[in-house]
Amino acid sequence: MTSSAKGRPWYAGFQLVGGAAFGVAKDLRSRRMGGLIPVMIALYMAGIVLYFINLVSPLAPFVYSLF
């Protein structure tokens, strides 16, 4: 794969977010709070959905007006 001008691959952001998610899940399990992992997954999924809605900016006013 080719790197950007900064020397980082294009997928570096995905690695950062994925690593953070796995780190939080590991920390929750180690603190005996594994029941919160579905909540964490729901929050990440909601963030992903909102991110993709914002990518398609013409749809954003229609979707956000529903809330």
Q: Please check whether residue 41 lies inside any domain of the structure.
A: yes
- Amino acid residing at 11: Y
Q: Please check whether residue 10 lies inside any domain of the structure.
A: no
Q: Report the chain's mean pLDDT, rounded to a whole number.
A: 82
Range of the domain at 67: 34-67
Q: Please check whether residue 49 lies inside any domain of the structure.
A: yes
Q: Please check whether residue 55 lies inside any domain of the structure.
A: yes
Q: Please check whether residue 51 lies inside any domain of the structure.
A: yes
Whole-angstrom distance, CA of residue 10 vs CA of residue 53: 21
Q: Please check whether residue 22 lies inside any domain of the structure.
A: no
- The answer, yes or no, to whether residue 63 has pLDDT greater than 80, is no
pLDDT by residue (tens digit) across 13-22? 888 888 888 8
Whole-angstrom distance, CA of residue 26 vs CA of residue 17: 14
- Token look-up 């594994």 returns 34
Query: How many domains does the chain contain in total?
Result: 1
Q: Please check whether residue 43 lies inside any domain of the structure.
A: yes
